[in-house]
């Protein structure tokens, strides 16, 4: 069942999401060659707890194995999503998707940004740019009267122009008191199909886009998903609310992008 949110609830969701964005901004400041994803995780957990929230991902139950051991997912290069932070140092030319969730005052935040590490190839930079563009193309469709399928159609039509793949096994989702609520929000779909979008709908839209084929496989840790062809994948995610006839993006990349622009 889809739970539509009141304006007051949307403000609480915004607070949880802005904390995710602030956490990702802190991470943007330290991402560089030589840093480990475990260091990124430690920074995120401390920052989230210092702000009176809990990292939603820590201990999150899996459909495949044990609870998630860390506070953020760090997915490097060919790892698409749900990468477990570890002690491998990031190297020049890597990309790392950091997916972060918070629970603050009973509401969840969820957002992801794919960072460049040092100098990244033009080919990979294009993958990141196009994936982020596809997120905003999807968001534009989230207005009352449209349908969930319009979001997926907008995402996939954009990335297919570049020959990229759209991961189908994992989707965006409703969000509120729980990180994953109804409805599912696939990154593919038919225009005019799926659930009707109404005021009060709050969802996370999160294209997971592969440079090569869309097929993915589960890693032996039972969490991470990797591209079968080992080509890189990108992941950008915003939580949005539909209200007063418009789309309102509750998370923000503004400060992250300012730091990224200073670095590169
Ligand atoms: Mg996420
Ligand atoms: Mg999500």
Does residue 208 sit in helix, strand or coil? strand
pLDDT band per the 50, 70, 90 thresholds, residue 65: confident
Which pTM was predicted? 0.98
CA of 174, nearest ligand number: 2
Residues near ion ligand 2 (CB < 5 Å) are: 110, 204
Quick one: average pLDDT of 94-123?
Answer: 98
Cα of 112 vs centre of ligand 2, distance in Å, is 8
We find that the CATH architecture of domain 7-263 is: Alpha-Beta Complex (3.90)
CA of 179, nearest ligand number: 2
CB 18 within 8 A of CB 100: no
Domain boundaries, the chain: 7-263
CA of 178, nearest ligand number: 2
CB 173 within 8 A of CB 108: no
Residue 263 confidence (pLDDT):
82
CB 249 within 8 A of CB 139: yes
> Per-residue pLDDT tens for 246-262?
999 999 999 999 999 99
Quick one: average pLDDT of 113-133?
Answer: 98
pLDDT at residue 198 above 80?
Answer: yes
Cα of 121 vs centre of ligand 2, distance in Å, is 27
> Per-residue pLDDT tens for 208-227?
999 999 999 999 999 999 99
pLDDT band per the 50, 70, 90 thresholds, residue 264: low
Cα of 257 vs centre of ligand 2, distance in Å, is 20
């Amino acid at each position: 069942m889809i739970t539509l949110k009141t304006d007051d609830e949307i403000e609480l969701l915004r607070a949880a999401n802005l904390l995710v964005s602030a956490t990702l901004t802190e991470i943007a400041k330290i991402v560089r060659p030589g840093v480990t994803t475990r260091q990124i995780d430690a920074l995120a957990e401390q920052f989230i707890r210092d702000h009176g929230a809990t990292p939603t991902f820590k201990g999150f139950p899996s459909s495949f194995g044990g609870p998630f051991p860390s506070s953020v997912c760090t997915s490097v290069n060919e790892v698409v999503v749900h990468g477990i932070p570890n002690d491998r140092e990031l190297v020049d030319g890597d990309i790392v998707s950091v997916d972060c969730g918070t629970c603050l005052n009973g509401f969840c935040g969820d957002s992801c940004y794919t960072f460049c590490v040092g100098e990244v190839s033009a080919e990979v930079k294009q993958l990141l740019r196009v994936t982020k563009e596809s997120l905003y193309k999807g968001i534009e469709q989230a207005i009352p009267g449209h349908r969930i399928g319009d979001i997926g159609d907008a995402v996939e039509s954009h990335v297919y122009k570049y020959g990229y793949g759209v991961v189908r096994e994992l989707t965006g989702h409703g969000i509120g008191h729980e990180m994953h609520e109804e409805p599912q929000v696939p990154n593919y779909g038919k225009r005019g199909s799926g659930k009707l979008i109404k005021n009060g709908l709050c969802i996370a839209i999160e294209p997971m886009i592969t440079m090569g084929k869309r097929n993915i496989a589960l890693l032996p840790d039972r969490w991470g998903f990797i591209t079968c062809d080992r080509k890189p994948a990108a992941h950008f995610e915003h939580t949005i609310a539909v209200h007063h006839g418009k789309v309102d993006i509750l998370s923000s990349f503004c400060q992250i992008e300012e730091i990224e622009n200073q670095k590169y």
